[in-house]
């Protein structure tokens, strides 16, 4: 099968299965609010944290402060209390406050809309930046996290050693119409089917298009 067609079959196949899975919380925030600031803060909270915990912490935090001005004026201790028990809540409270200050001071309280500007904020990596651009602003960008990196390598549509390389390779092979949603699709798929260890290949809807590269033990 022609490679371009195979890639479309893989992505469309995952899309068909999506209704069976919970969608990632940050996607929900993006769909409900269309607010880049909320997407940025919930993404920072979600790192190394379960989705349910991120959801509750974000809601508590946004009830108290939903703009960079309001959030930057909260004491760090208050932010810690509101976001507990997300992973690394102390570090995240400090980071979020510092980012909000920067946004107020340097960006007129507006979240930047390019990856290049976003990564200048201390604590914002490429993954968060591409998520804000794609989910927050609805602009074509591919957010590559551990799920996107692992699955696209298993599919053999990239052959890369780091998420950044994966992102650059994916821009060349994935049709642009899928760039924004690719992260949502593969996070949900990666949490439920194509898991890091022992993926559920025998009941996977896209197995006929997948060469299972690097997969050892599987179910
Ligand atoms: S066949 Fe296995 S490795 Fe391939 S996408 Fe499905 S679960 Fe992942």
Compute CA distances 104 → 20, 95, 100, 164, whole Å. 41, 14, 6, 29
Choose which residue among 9, 193, 196, 219 to substitute to test ligand 1 binding: the one with the highest number of ligand atoms within 8 A of its C-beta. Answer: 193
Give the long-range contacts of residues 204-209, CB within 8 A, separation 24 or more.
205/13, 205/14, 205/16, 205/17, 206/9, 206/10, 206/13, 206/14, 209/1, 209/6, 209/9, 209/10, 209/13, 209/155
DSSP string, 132-148: IIIIIT--S-----HHH
Per-residue pLDDT tens for 179-219? 999 999 999 999 999 999 999 999 999 999 999 999 988 89
**Ligand 1 centroid, distance to 177 Cα (angstroms):** 23
pLDDT at 14 over 90: yes
Output 8-11 pairs: Cβ under 8 A, ≥24 positions apart: 8/175, 9/206, 9/209, 10/155, 10/157, 10/206, 10/209, 10/210, 11/174, 11/178, 11/182, 11/185
pTM of the model: 0.93
What percent of the chain lies above the pLDDT cut of 90?
Answer: 94
Please state, in angstroms and rounded to a whole number, the distance separating the CA atoms of residues 93 and 81: 9
Ligand 1: does its nearest atom lie under 6 Å from the Cβ of 215? Answer: yes
Is residue 154 within 6 Å of ligand 1 at its C-beta?
Answer: yes
Compute CA 63 distance to the chain's CA centroid, rounded to the nearest angstrom.
Answer: 23
Check pocket membership of 182 for ligand 1, CB cut-off 6 A. no
What is the CB neighbour count within 10 angstroms for residue 3?
A: 10
Q: Is the CB of 11 within 6 Å of ligand 1?
A: no
Distance 10 CA to ligand 1 centre (A): 10
Mutation to probe ligand 1, out of 197, 204, 216, 219 (largest number of atoms < 8 A from CB): 204
Whole-angstrom distance, CA of residue 17 vs CA of residue 24: 15
The CATH class given to the 25-136 domain equals: mainly alpha
Candidate from 9, 192, 199, 205 with most ligand 1 atoms within 8 A of CB, to mutate: 199
pLDDT single digits (tens) 53-103: 999 999 999 999 999 999 999 999 999 999 999 999 999 999 999 999 999
Ligand 1 within 6 A of CB of 105: no
Q: Describe the crossing of helices 25-33 and 36-46 by its angle, rounded to 10 degrees.
A: 170
Predicted confidence (pLDDT) at residue 142 exceeds the cutoff of 80: yes
Domain chopping of the chain, boundaries = 3-22+142-209, 25-136
Reduced to 3 states (helix: H, G, I; strand: E, B; else coil), residue 213 is coil
Centre of ligand 1 to C-alpha 26, Å, is 24
pLDDT, tens only, 97-137 = 999 999 999 999 999 999 999 999 999 999 999 999 999 99
- The rounded radius of gyration (Å) of the Cα atoms in the chain is 18
pLDDT of residue 19: 87
**Does 3.30.360.10 match the CATH number of domain 3-22+142-209?**
no
């Amino acid at each position: 099968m022609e490679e371009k067609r195979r890639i479309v079959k893989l992505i469309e196949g995952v899309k068909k299965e999506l209704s069976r899975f919970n969608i990632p919380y940050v996607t929900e925030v993006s769909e409900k609010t269309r607010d880049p600031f909320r997407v940025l803060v919930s993404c920072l909270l979600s790192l190394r944290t379960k989705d349910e915990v991120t959801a509750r912490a974000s809601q508590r935090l946004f009830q108290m402060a939903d703009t960079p001005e309001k959030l930057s004026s909260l004491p760090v201790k208050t932010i810690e209390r509101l976001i507990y028990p997300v992973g690394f809540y102390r570090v995240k409270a400090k980071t979020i406050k510092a980012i909000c200050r920067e946004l107020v001071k340097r960006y007129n309280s507006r979240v930047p809309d390019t990856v290049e500007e976003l990564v200048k904020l201390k604590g914002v990596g490429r993954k968060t930046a591409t998520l804000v651009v794609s989910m927050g602003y609805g602009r074509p960008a591919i957010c590559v996290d551990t799920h996107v990196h692992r699955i696209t390598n298993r599919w053999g549509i990239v052959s890369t050693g780091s998420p950044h390389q994966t992102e650059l390779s994916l821009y060349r092979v994935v049709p642009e119409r899928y760039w924004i949603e690719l992260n949502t699709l593969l996070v949900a798929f990666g949490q439920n089917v194509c898991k890091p260890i022992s993926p559920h290949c025998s009941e996977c809807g896209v197995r006929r298009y997948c060469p299972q590269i690097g997969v050892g033990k599987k179910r």
